[in-house]
Structure 1
Amino acid sequence: MTAIDSSRTVAVVGTGTMGQGIAQVALTAGHPVRLLDAAPGRAGEAAQAIGARLDRLVEKGRMTAADRDAARARLHPATDAGELADAALVVEAVVEQPAVKQELFAALEKIVADDCLLATNTSSLSVTAVAGVLRDPGRFVGLHFFNPAPLLPLVEVVSGHATDEEAAVRAAETVAAWGKTPVRCADLPGFIVNRIARPFYAEAFAVHEEHGIDPATIDAVLRECGGFRMGPFELTDLIGQDVNEAVTRSVWESFFHSPKFQPSLAQRRLVESRRLGRKSGHGWYSYAEGAEPPAPVDAAPRNAPEYVVAEGGLGPAAELLGMIREAGVTVRQEDEDGGTRLILPSGGQLVLADGQMACEFRDVVYFDLALDYRTAGRVALSVAPGAVRDETLAQATGLFQALGKKVTVIGDVPGMIVARTVAMLGDLALDAVARGAASAQDVDTAMRLGVNYPLGPVEWQERLGRDWAWELLENLHRTVPTGRYARTLGLHQWSYAAQDEADAMDAGNAVDAADGDAS
């Protein structure tokens, strides 16, 4: 165990929201903590604020009065960087400006001992670049806490190009000793969470910009069908449109304007108009006093069809077949393998989202991917105006309503909402793994704990199967040939590895069967 002993001092420089949160985490883990801020008197104010939060923990029964008093005794505001000389770890949480951070660490390096770890809490800047001014960049790491730091469990431990492995391990084990969950990652733009999460926002904004459906309905589909805790429009209103757009723009610029990270023009207009979300009283939604949140668009009730014909096992939507039977609708199975469509009594087809547009076909209604069709409260359908008969849409709507689902009908959006989001999240996740940014396990852990995704994106791809995202993105790339939906090398490598594994398993099963026949 190489974690920093709790008797050693932890210093936090920068006493805004993040700095105070990080200080509280180290303090409650038993460390003496020193606070430093460039603004006179700010460190003392921060110490008082932290003390008040400890009081609230005592009031809620989450901390004893004795532990609070001991923690307060270990918390010391500093007025000069020289007071940090005995620190075993210094965490910086100042303004996100490289020059400011570099100047700070260059000064700190002359003050602290050679075995002191230096860490930045940056969420978007290059750890390597910040450490570039140091005499010994090997002891420099990124410790990216998530806000609010005392509550959220995840910490990204970022190794810069020159970071020593020993320093990264020590930082990760220290964070674990504080009760947090560390994930290791390389110094690539956005690290894990801020990089891989971009499609969650970008695809929703694109559906809105393509006039697929309104923001409230997109949010509802991603929550009630996709299983996400919040929709991207309400979440970015909470985060702040300026903050979220700045992170997107930073990642986009760091990847040399890759179309996979292209910012949203609609979000840019919100920022320009100072409609920044909750903090300004208006973002995608209004937060004025008395304002009611907009309701999602629900389809009117329709009758369920008497039967459907299943062509194939429906792939990732296979559980629907049993649910349809349970609802009293007859399922005629023509083929149990391959296909992902249902034939309705009208002769029209109900097809799982595959990245193609409904206008490419006649009398086709697409339905969206769900995290779990049994627990989903809503399912989205996509139609091309003039290309589907009213009878077909009514039967498709009535079928899902018979399963107890609210139904939303959106425009002709290739890949729909949940499906294209999940495919893009998986593509970027596998790309990050292939580039050595992080392990698949750490990617999944980061996305579940950092942004509350219902599944890690790699695990989600494994559940959906090797061909699902491959085919959907291939169709999307053909439909929207901008490069945004071009499959990454990571997805290629993962898909072929999954196929090799499946082939090996089939070969093993064949040998076992032959042995059984021989006996």
Structure 2
Amino acid sequence: MPALAPSDIIAVIGAGAMGAGIAQVAAQAGHPVRLHDNREGAAQSGIDGVRHQLEKRVARGKMAQDDVETIIARMTPAATLAELADSRLVIEAIVESLEVKRQVFAELESVCGPETLLTSNTSSLSITSIAAGLERPERLAGMHFFNPAPVMKLVEVISGLATEAEVAETLYATAEAWGKVPVHASSTPGFIVNRVARPFYAEGLRLMQEGAATPATLDALLRQAGGFRMGPFELMDLIGHDVNYAVTRSVFDAYYGDTRFEPSLVQQALVEAGRLGRKSGQGFYDYREGAESAVPNAASPVEADLPPLIIEGQAGNIAPLVTRAEQAGLEIVRRESISGQPRLRLGGLTLALSDGRCATERACDEGLEALVLFDLCLDYNSASAIALAASPGVDAESHDLATALFQRLGMEVCWLTDTPGLVVLRTVAMLANEAADAVLQGVCSAQDCDRAMQAGLNYPRGPLAWADGLGLDFVHRTLSHLQQSYGEERYRASFLLRRQALAGSCFHE
């Protein structure tokens, strides 16, 4: 279906930061825009706020003043819903209340023509529920922008049970014409992003709660090893714990208490204490004036004469790490693998990429005296930090050897307590698992899932593409080991991921 024409009138209801931002996006795309808010003067204030933001760009030399005037001239405050009657598309961005939204759309349906497309920017409410009771529920869909709307690229186009396919396709094409990255999603709790992202926060919270590492250490590892723009703790502090915790509770409740979405008692305590993050001055970190910045717990520099690094078996996922060792001037010896899995050896010490087991368990399973596990990295060639964990048989000398090895490669070394899956591997496996379940349940396609997570949250790689690159058999094995270690349904592998792994296929052919 074609996108709406630039001459079509776009109406936005709600002149807060999100509504005004959406109005700006539509006006910049050339549409006449009508902005309505039931608070007196709010619509004009929203337009004035858009002008203020655009003039900041003028001051930085990013925009011409004439362009600002052209955009603002397209935006008109509307005092009543009746003034939106001739709009081709209405986007609602008001309070997250099902009852209030239903009332607004019922009134809109009475004043707008049958060709008007009605959409909600809701981030958590069911589009099917919002549309229930309308005479033309097939004309209503979700159009979920991300804050700030003029900057963030993603738009989730959400279809309820009654939404016509041509409506969703028109909204998709329109969002694309506005310079956005649209994806299709069905109306299920959390849609794509707010559902698939839950493990990013949940696994970090659990690792911290179990004493694996400090928030600053876990954040650093997910940034410097995992390639994420922000770690989970600094991101939750930025979002606000009241908001993040409420989303988690909403998804958890909507899925009838599925343990994959279980909220954290640690985050609940922060909300109860009023430590909401940056906006309150304290969260996991202290933002008050004069507060000391938290730093990751990295190992002190270790000087050691390294013996030859023995590579057993095909390097597979750690091949870039071996290349980095060669480039660092280490003596490399290659041998066949008895176990069938790639391993590194330094003298009597064995090192291996985590597979979801803790080092203690794996050392027992494989009959190893001294084992150090290292974490997954997005790119071993460029990663600047890495997490390690040791089995009980690793003495001080072997501990120093492992530290010295990765420091020689230019990496900060962060030792964790012996925990299953470490940090990056555990997080990526759980993100891929949730993404696979979303695809299995018809929420979205694999392509749209990856697009959403990259465009909406700036993930360095789509979780399903990342799983494809690692090998679905490896990801499935990691999840199986996590479930075995914890004995919890939380880590059960998605049937789709398991099936794809058994078939030797992938999500992106």
TM interval, short-chain normalised: over 0.9
Amino acid at match of 1:223: R
SS at match of 2:298: coil
Q: Which residue of 2 aligns with 1:367?
A: 374
What does the per-residue CA deviation read over 1:142-174, in whole Å, with 9 as the maximum and x for residues that have no partner? 111011000111101111111000000111111
| Structure 2 partner of 1:253 | 253
- Whole-Å separation in 2 of the counterparts to 1:8 and 1:326: 59
Q: Confirm or deny that 1:391 pairs with 2:374.
A: no
How far did residue 490 of structure 1 move? 1.8
Q: Displacement of 1:324 after TM fit?
A: 2.0
Partner-residue secondary structure (3-state), 1:318: helix
User: Alignment RMSD, CA only?
Assistant: 1.7
Partners of 1:328 and 1:398 lie apart in 2 by 14
Instruction: Please give the residue correspondences for 1:246-325 in structure 2 after superposition, counting only pairs within 5 Å.
Output: 246-302=246-302, 303=304, 305-325=306-326
CA distance in 2, matches of 1:494, 1:17: 42
Q: State the alpha-carbon separation in 2 of the partners of residues 204 and 152 from structure 1.
A: 25
Correspondences of 1:127-142 after superposition (within 5 Å): 127-142=127-142
TM-score by length of 2: 0.95
Change (3 A) 1:447 1:500: closer
Instruction: Choose from 379, 387, 390 the match for 2:386.
Output: 379
Residue-by-residue CA offset, 1:105-162 (whole Å, 9 max, x unaligned)? 1111101111000000011111111111211111111111011000111101111111
Secondary structure, counterpart of 1:280 in structure 2: coil
Shift of 1:69: 1.9
Q: CA deviation at 1:217?
A: 0.4
* Structure 1 CA distance for aligned equivalents of residues 65 and 397 of structure 2: 68
TM superposition shift of 1:71: 2.1
CA distance in 1, matches of 2:342, 2:325: 15
Q: CA deviation at 1:266?
A: 0.7
Quote the offset at 1:53 in angstroms.
Answer: 2.0
Conservation of the 8 A alpha-carbon contact between 1:208 and 1:215:
yes
- Distance in structure 1 (CA, Å) of the matches to 2:500 and 2:17: 40
SS of structure 2 residue aligned to 1:66: helix
Aligned partners of 2:160 and 2:187 also within 8 Å: yes
- Find the partner of 2:414 among 408, 411, 419: 408
CA distance in 2, matches of 1:355, 1:74: 55
Q: Alpha carbons of 1:21 and 1:494: their partners in 2 closer, same or farther (altered >3 Å)?
A: same
1:342 corresponds to which residue? Answer: 344
1:51 to partner: Cα distance: 2.0
1:17-416 map, 5 Å? 17-302=17-302, 303=304, 305-335=306-336, 338-345=340-347, 347-360=348-361, 361=363, 362-384=369-391, 386-416=392-422
Rounded Cα–Cα distance in structure 2 between residues aligned with 1:147 and 1:259: 28
Letter in 1 for 2:65: A
For the Cα contact (< 8 Å) 2:472–2:506, is it kept in 1? no
Q: Does 1:419 align with 2:425?
A: yes
Q: Take 1:300 and 1:64, find their aligned partners in 2: how far apart are those partners?
A: 52
Cα offsets for 1:13-55 (capped at 9, x unmatched): 1111100100100111111111111212211211211222232
Structure 1 residue 499: Cα displacement = 4.7
Residue 383 of structure 2: SS of its match in structure 1? coil
Q: 2:500 aligns with which of 486, 490, 494?
A: 494
User: Aligned to 1:287, what secondary structure does the other structure show?
Assistant: coil
Alignment-mate amino acid for residue 313 of structure 1: Q
1:453-506 CA deviation, whole Å, 9 max, x = no partner? 1101111011101211111111110001110111011211321343599xxx9x
CA contact (8 A) 2:473 2:502 kept: no
What secondary structure does 1:229 align onto? coil
User: Aligned letter for 1:54?
Assistant: L
Structure 2 contact 384–411 (Cα < 8 Å) conserved: yes
Q: Percent identity?
A: 47
What does the per-residue CA deviation read over 1:284-332, in whole Å, with 9 as the maximum and x for residues that have no partner? 0000012232111111222252113222224311222222233233232
Aligned residues: 500
Gaps of 5+ in 2: 364-368
Distance in 1, Cα, partners of 2:51 & 2:457: 28
SS of aligned partner of 2:236: helix
Give 1:377's aligned amino acid. S
Could you say which residue in structure 1 is the equivalent of 2:366?
none
Which residue number corresponds to residue 491 of structure 2? Answer: 485
Q: State the 1:62 CA deviation.
A: 3.4
Q: Judging changes above 3 Å, is the alpha-carbon distance between structure 1 residues 71 and 324 closer, same or farther for their aligned structure 2 residues? A: closer
Displacement after TM superposition at 1:180 (Å): 0.9
**Counterpart residue type for residue 4 of structure 2:** I
Aligned in 2, Cα 1:389/1:471: closer, same or farther, shift over 3 Å? Answer: same
**Distance in 1 separating the partners of 2:168 and 2:280:** 39
Stretches of structure 1 that go unaligned for 5 or more consecutive residues are 506-519
How far apart are the structure 1 equivalents of 2:30 and 2:274? 42
For the residues of structure 1 that align with 2:305 and 2:377, how far apart are their CA atoms? Answer: 20
TM-superposition CA deviations, 1:386-429 (whole Å, max 9, x none): 44211221111111111111111010111000000000111111
Alpha-carbon deviation of 1:67? 2.6
Letter of the 2:32 counterpart: P
The 8 Å contact of residues 315 and 338 in structure 1, kept in 2 or not, is answered as: no
- 1:368-397 Cα shifts (integer Å, max 9, x gaps): 00001110000110125x442112211111
Describe the shift of the 1:43–1:499 C-alpha distance in structure 2 as closer, same or farther (beyond 3 A). closer
Distance 1:309 1:233 in 2: 37
Contact 2:468 2:506 in 1 (8 A): no
Is residue 460 from structure 1 mapped to residue 462 from structure 2 by the alignment?
no
Contact 1:304–1:401 (CA<8 Å) still a contact in 2?
no
SS in 2 for 1:290: coil
- Once the two structures are superposed, residues 61-102 of structure 1 have per-residue CA deviations (whole angstroms, 9 ceiling, x without a partner) of 333333322222221111111111111111011111111111
Q: Please, which moves more after superposition, 57-66 or 31-40?
A: 57-66
1:210 is matched by which residue type in structure 2? E
Moved more, 370-379 or 334-343: 334-343
| Structure 2 partner of 1:515 | none
- 55-64 or 156-165: which moved more? 55-64
Amino acid at match of 1:153: K
Among 424, 432, 436, the residue aligned to 2:442: 436
Distance 1:292 1:114, change over 3 A: same
Instruction: State the 1:57 CA deviation.
Output: 3.0
Task: Give distance in 1, aligned partners of 2:176 and 2:394.
Answer: 56
